[in-house]
């Protein structure tokens, strides 16, 4: 299940996609077909972050099945059902995975102050414990940041890690610069494609291109061409599922905002992904220096 990829042509890395959900909702054959569609579209590699103990093994197995990579962690939205024993179990899983080149980060972890009803103290406890594990194993982190950037950064200052990715970043320019100074790259995906996302688009234009990585967060955060409005949903129109195959078109939007040739954005974004998650290098660094460089 690891087809050869033509690394001599420009390609993309989806640094954040929950591909286990395609197995859960459509079966393995459906997920295999979806991943092959993305490969044909030019997505050479995906990073599959886990969200709770029950899907750690699934994410690991899919990464090996498809030649992708994975991260292990407890997502803030899953902290209500997480147990203290899960932290110890995560430590054991990370220890066992030290020899696995496809285990590239601790994630998805972080804080979410948008969803009502979540215990902020409990979120912060699990977040800090996972930062400690990332420090112990020398791994970067993939962090969920939703209306929580300042608090999340506070804990990072107290428990600094080797860097990572601020997933689906939508904070301020000042917050972005702090993340960058801490060795993080910032993830941009489908939300960028909406013309009304003015602040996010300004960030995508103003930040150094070396700070940006691309992601889909599939099946979530669909780009505008897949989005179904509330009115359409009420009329029975189903929400189309976002997949990694959408990444090249999302990248075209970012390239247009920055005035870059898409081939150059592909080269830079792959290099940025490797800088954020160094264990990706053996899988995706092939051939990028030979790509045509044609920035505008």
167 is in an annotated binding site: yes
Give residue 186's pLDDT.
98
| Of 263 and 70, more confident | 70
Residue 128 lies in a domain: yes
125 is in an annotated binding site: no
Confidence of residue 11 (pLDDT cuts 50, 70, 90): very high
Give residue 294's pLDDT.
45
Exposed/middle/buried for residue 27 (C-beta within 10 Å: 0-12, 13-18, 19+): exposed
Residue 295 lies in a domain: no
Residue 219 lies in a domain: yes
Range with lowest mean pLDDT among 235-249, 258-272, 278-292:
278-292
Q: Which residues contact 56 (CB under 8 A, 6 or more apart)?
A: 50, 72, 90, 93
Residue 124 lies in a domain: yes
Whether 277 has a pLDDT exceeding 70, the answer reads yes
Domain that holds residue 182: 12-286
Residue 89 lies in a domain: yes
Q: What is the pLDDT of residues 127-162, one digit of tens each?
A: 999 999 999 999 999 999 999 999 999 999 999 999
Confidence of residue 286 (pLDDT cuts 50, 70, 90): low
Helix axes 120-137, 149-158, angle to 10 degrees: 40
What CATH number is associated with residue 74? 3.20.20.140
Residue 116 lies in a domain: yes
Whether 201 has a pLDDT exceeding 80, the answer reads yes
């420090």: which residue's tokens? 135
Residue 291 lies in a domain: no
Give residue 232's pLDDT.
83
Domain count of the chain? 1
Give residue 289's pLDDT.
54
Residues 95 and 109: their CA atoms lie apart, in Å, by: 18
Q: Which residues contact 37 (CB under 8 A, 6 or more apart)?
A: 243, 245
C-beta separation of 49 from 59 below 8 A: yes
Give residue 288's pLDDT.
63
Whether 45 has a pLDDT exceeding 90, the answer reads yes
Region 27-35 average pLDDT: 96
- In a 13 Å sphere around the CA of 120, the CA atoms on its Cβ side amount to 8
Residue 292 lies in a domain: no
32 is in an annotated binding site: no
């Amino acid at each position: 299940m690891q087809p050869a990829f033509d690394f001599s042509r420009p390609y993309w890395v989806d640094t954040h996609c929950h591909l286990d959900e395609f197995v859960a909702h459509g079966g393995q054959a459906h997920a295999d077909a979806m991943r092959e569609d993305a490969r044909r579209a030019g997505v050479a590699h995906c990073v599959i972050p886990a969200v709770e103990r029950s899907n750690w093994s699934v994410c690991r197995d899919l990464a090996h099945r498809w030649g992708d990579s994975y991260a292990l962690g407890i997502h803030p939205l899953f902290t209500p059902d997480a147990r203290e024993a899960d932290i110890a179990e995560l430590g054991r899983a990370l220890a066992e995975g030290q020899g696995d080149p496809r285990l590239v980060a601790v994630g998805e972890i972080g804080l979410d102050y948008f969803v009502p009803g979540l215990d902020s103290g409990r979120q912060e406890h699990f977040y800090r414990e996972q930062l400690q594990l990332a420090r112990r194993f020398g791994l970067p982190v993939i962090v969920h940041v939703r209306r929580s950037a300042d608090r999340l950064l506070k804990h990072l200052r107290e428990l600094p890690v080797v860097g990572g990715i601020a997933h689906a970043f939508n904070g301020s320019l000042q917050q972005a610069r702090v993340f960058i100074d801490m060795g993080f790259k910032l993830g941009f995906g489908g939300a960028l494609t909406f013309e009304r996302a003015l602040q996010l688009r300004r960030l995508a234009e103003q930040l150094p291109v070396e700070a940006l990585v691309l992601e889909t967060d599939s099946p979530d955060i669909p780009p505008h061409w897949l989005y179904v409005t509330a009115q359409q949903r009420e009329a029975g129109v189903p929400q189309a599922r976002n997949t990694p195959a959408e990444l090249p078109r999302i990248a075209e939007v970012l390239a247009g905002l920055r005035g870059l040739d898409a081939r150059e954005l592909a080269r830079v974004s792959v290099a940025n992904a490797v800088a954020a998650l160094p264990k990706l290098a053996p899988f995706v660094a092939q051939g990028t220096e030979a790509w045509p460089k044609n920035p505008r």
